[in-house]
Amino acid sequence: MTKKNGFASGIGFILAAAGSAVGLGNLWGFPYKTAQNGGAAFVLIYIACVLLIGFITMISELYIGRRAQANAVSAYKVVNKNIGWFGLVAVAIPAFIICYYSILGGWTLKFTVNSFNGNAGILSTFSVNTFEVIAVTGVFLLISAGIIMGGVEKGIEKMSKILMPMLFVIIVCIAIYSLTLGEGVKEGLSFFLKPDFSTVTTKTILVAMGQAFYSLSLGMGIMISYGSYTGKEIDITKSCAMICIFDTIVALLAGLAIFPAVAHFNPELLNSSQGVALMFIILPEVFESLGFIGKIVSFAFFLMVTIAAVTSVVSLLEVVTQFILQKYQVNRKKAAAGIMIICFAVSIPIGISLGHVAILEEDGPALFGLDALTFFDLVTNTVLMPVCALFACITVGWIIKPERAVEEIEASGSTMPEWLKKVYSVMIRFVTPALILIVEISGVRGEIIAKDYAVIIVAYGMIIICAIIYFLFFKNSYTGMNADEHKN
Ligand code: PHE
């Protein structure tokens, strides 16, 4: 397994994968979900989910990519020609996510740049300023695609080595600042972490499982793609452990940074600290009440969020770029530019819909009664990602078989102590797929209860379309591998 094209160092790979994992889900989703779902009780359940589903699925996805040294479609195809379409689903999901995640990325960019003018109260005017929203989304996508164009080592790895430590330093500093504010800190911490096992229901566990998936960037081909860029010198088991730990620490730090500060400066806002409001309405108000120092904290905070969003979108873009450039033998720059332009075009109506329908709650472009971002978010996160993660577990647990997988993982330079081999073998066959199936079924059930049938139809329709396209066009044709990149 010689590595010609990929990550140069273990730490570079870990930072890149952690860069994908650490995103809006950690800085924004995790804090308010924890506060809403029983504080420390939720944190414990979340950690269990990271271990039981996250860690096991991540090893499996990285392994599928590493053994193939190829894009997700080829990676499944080398296991068995008839399951290559699993890979196509794994490429299609990121393509969709880029289109809406970039809009939020654009928002964070706007809030960073605007920090010194004050962000309080701007959301309702900014988010419906069509031109501005489109412009910042475009800039955000340009930055992300620019990094991809640099390649895996000189683009993704280099950027992660600079940006991820920066992000970590910023969040640690803000957390320290927030925790040393004195008055209110206790209330903030108790709002965030006060254990309340009485609120723990099946729904809490489902929220934690879903959050673990999303936060670790599983079920969308990313870890397959990044895994394919690793060789023997990178230990996947150890790396997975570090990525999971890093991702969880950043999520916890985000809560420690946010709630004590809200409780100190504006305690009456604590209870409305949810969803979009938390990051784009409540925090700007808190920063505003701080005077000049608030502008600096605001800049640092939104810069950190932008970094997290860029490193996540970069990983999504890489999955699609890798497939297109290898399958169609075009060069990386052209592939990345093409994808960027298409995603940008699709993001325009979604951005307009988000501002008008979701924020102002007025008429605007909507999809089946939902704002377009929520619609796509439900399609990908609720329905498609668990399916895609299930594909990875079934492939390793039932098609490749755990005995062989464990042997190959070890032979490719990764350490797996005896106990882990045993645990992994049982988990990957039975426990993890069963848990993922529960997440999927309850997600679909939720959509049925909410009468969002279109979400289910579009999501499963997409899987069927991917399968049809695969069998018609890709099954018997060459779909490329990493080594091809040097030829074009
Ligand atoms: N893991 C990222 C987060 O926590 C989310 C993400 C989603 C990243 C999709 C890449 C792709 O926000």
pLDDT tens digit string along 381-440?
A: 889 999 999 999 999 999 999 999 999 999 988 989 999 999 999 999 999 999 999 999
The string of pLDDT tens digits covering residues 359-373 is 777 777 778 878 888
Q: Report which of 279, 457, 466, 272 is spatially closest to residue 378, judged by C-alpha positions.
A: 457
C-beta of 21 in contact with ligand 1 (< 6 A):
yes
Q: What is the mean pLDDT of residues 48-60?
A: 95
| pLDDT tens sequence across 149-182 | 999 999 999 999 999 999 999 999 999 999 999 8
pLDDT tens across 227-270, in order? 999 999 999 999 999 999 999 999 999 999 999 998 998 888 88
pLDDT at 486 over 80: no
pLDDT value of residue 3: 45
- CA 157 to centroid of ligand 1, rounded, Å: 17
Nearest CA to ligand 1 atom 9: 217
The answer to whether 236 and 230 are in contact (CB under 8 A) is: yes
pLDDT at 2 over 60: no
What's the pLDDT score for residue 241?
96
Closest CA to 223 of 402, 72, 413: 72
**In this prediction, what percent of the chain has a pLDDT beyond 70?**
99
Neighbouring-strand partners of residue 370: 367
pLDDT score at 4:
61
> What is the rounded CA–CA span in Å between residue 155 and residue 165?
16
Give pLDDT tens digits for 320-357.
999 999 999 999 999 999 999 999 999 998 888 887 78
* Greater model confidence, 353 or 486: 353
pLDDT of residue 68: 96
Tokens of 221: 């081909």
**Is 25 near ligand 1, meaning CB less than 6 Å away?**
yes
Q: What is the pLDDT of residue 1?
A: 43
pLDDT in the model for residue 208: 94
Is the CB–ligand 1 distance for residue 311 below 6 Å? no
Q: Say what the pLDDT of residue 269 is.
A: 83
The amino acid occupying position 63 is Y
Task: Evaluate if residue 219 carries a pLDDT over 50.
Answer: yes
For residue range 66-111, list pLDDT tens digits in order. Answer: 999 999 999 999 999 999 999 999 999 999 999 999 999 999 999 9
Q: Does the beta carbon of 219 lie inside 6 Å of ligand 1? A: no
Nearest atom of ligand 1 to the alpha carbon of 30: 4
CB 206 within 8 A of CB 441: no
Is 80 exceeded by the pLDDT of residue 273?
A: no
- pLDDT for 488 equals 60
pLDDT in tens, 109-123: 999 999 999 888 888
Q: What value, to the nearest 5°, has the Cα angle with vertex 461 and ends 456 and 462?
A: 105
